[in-house]
Structure 1
Amino acid sequence: MWIFGYGSLVWKVDFPYTRKLVGYIEGYERRFWQASIDHRGTPDKPGRVVTLVPSTSPQAKVWGVSYEIHDEEAISRLKEREKRYSEVNLSFFSATTTSTNIIPPPIITVTYIGPQNGPLFLGEASLDEMATQISTAKGPSGTNVDYLFKLADFMRAELSQVEDEHLFQLETAAVVWGAAYKIPDNELEEVLRHLDHREVMGYEKVPILFHPVWNHPLNETKNGTVISTEKNFEVTMYYGSEQNEHFIGDAPLDQIARHIWKCVGPSGANKEYLFNLCNAMRQIATLLPAPNNDDDEGTRKTQPPILDEHLAQLELAVLELDNTEDKSIIKSIPSPVVND
């Protein structure tokens, strides 16, 4: 019996197999349109995992791994693991050629697909909506974003020539770059009291998994040396959820930009907050070590955009207001009268 894996089965192999082949199936597209309530999410906060949906493109392929399995107990465990999916027999095309460069014939594999009429099929959503759901969900098998990263890492490492636009766009959208600070135990109480006051307007402390870039040049400690101790670790983050009373929500870009442009508070102009954040993110990305196979274990193998799309568009819109509105103000000031 052959099993085709296109999600967690490509890296989480907890069963015995006799052969493993990398290749693809045709006629489908891989999409993060299936809810996970028992592995990468919970019933109250479902995660998003991949399923297959029929494609209208005759060239459509989904790359993954097929395993030949003969162990009846292993097959039974797999059926339990994929119990929320339907079994479909598909032709699998191996990317491995024989010693005589002959392409082997297709193999019939069992493939698990989430039924579109099932209760866990979420369907399509905006990129930002899916990325937000993935980045905040967590279940017994770990965080949802770790599932996304591992799938993208497999594609990048094993199939670098294959472009999976849906997967890599989600990976970029689900990543939020920033900095983590380790607080000394003897200063923890004082620092938390300060931060609780600073982030009092609708923020709550939540645990989240942090993915460090151990060799980033902006890393620092009191003695100047940063040593990789573990791949990822949990941090506390101040998070303003949609449920808090100060959450404003989405709005047209020009409306958000004008709001930021004109607001000033005790800490300064709102636009300076935006500009400082953009400059910090730009510096993080500019100095990010180039990805390669010799990086420390904790280094993500991705190169982020200089700014995420939301920040980049807002920065441009506010700078445009700076330019157009300031000129308008200057033009409205009457010219001084000069007496001969």
Structure 2
Amino acid sequence: MTGDDERAARAALCGIAEPGDTFLNQIIDHVGASAALEAIRTGRLPADLTATEGEIRRLEHWRIRLRANAPEEDMAVCQEMGIRLVCPGDPEWPTTLDDLQAARPYALWLRGPADLRHHCLRSVAMVGSRAASGYGLRVAAEMASELSERDWTVVSGGALGIDAAAHRGALAADGMTVAVFANGVDVPYPGGNDGLFAEMARRALLISESPPGTPPHRLRFLVRNRVIAALSRGTVIVEAEQRSGALNTAAWARKLGRSLMVVPGQVDSRSSAGCLRLLREDPDSTLVTCSDEVIEMVGRIGADLAQRPSAPVLPRDRLDRLTRGVLEAFPARGAAGPAQLAAKAGMDLPTVNGKLGLLSAGGFIERTPEGWRLTRAAKSRDY
């Protein structure tokens, strides 16, 4: 459990530095969050740490921002809105975030009743295009709903399009879903999803590396993708354009050794161009078409295998070998007598006569003045 001083220091660091700064994490890992904050306040690094000119400039930038930082106000907002701060070492901290190493979050701000660590034990990230097609929205919602019914948590970024469809699909199945924000968890962005976020705050979980009140920042949308990938056992890309941010999440999943899954789209669809490129060029990506295939990738080895799709069982599949042989001896057009059928099937006449009765009762053949012929249904591929 993180001490009060360390917790307060991490809350302050979240407000003055960009998320996942490797230099700041290096200082924290070396001397702790409280000492790191003091180093920023005084402008003096620990004696055994060195820094580049760029890192020294960042240290000065943080020191300036620290003067305007008011972590006690952030904590007051947390008290009012039911927001909590989770730090490394806390029981609710997902240890999978430690895979980010020097890019690990300093802390996370959480809003909602769910336990983050518990629900991330069985979690799948699902991301994609904001300008999603009807096909993409349907696939994301249905797949998320089916995953939720199997007790898998759906993690996404809360954006319009695929992200929102994944969150809504999980909620529709009374499942668990987590949205990773690039802004404060009390800032409903995008505004079109404010109703969704209110429902998630009541039933699921909103999380962010930024303190309450932080507005969205363009670069932070890319930075937060590493958290989406790290929280999950695997990432599913449903739709992505050539320069989609979802491809950045895919890159983090690959870097962290997580399963990378891609839903195929139409070859002439702009919103599927990134997905198709991943499938063509990335040997680590796996094509998935349903929730069973996703679970096979992220579930227990040998225990969560997807059922292989099978062809439909047709009436003729249930016929025994000899009866099927007589049926196959029928001409495609016209009629034939028992002797003709026996010769073509290579069977004796009594056997053929016996099978003709069975085939007639099954609706495969019918008698005509010229002999026996196939029924219209029997000529169909579906019979």
Indicate the TM-score class for this superposition, using the shorter chain for normalisation: under 0.3
TM-score (ref. length: structure 2): 0.22
The structure with the larger Rg is: 2
- Please identify which structure carries the higher helix content: 2
TM-score by length of 1: 0.24
Query: Per residue, is there more strand in 1 or in 2?
Result: 1
Relative contact order (C-alpha < 8 Å, sep 6+): which is higher?
1
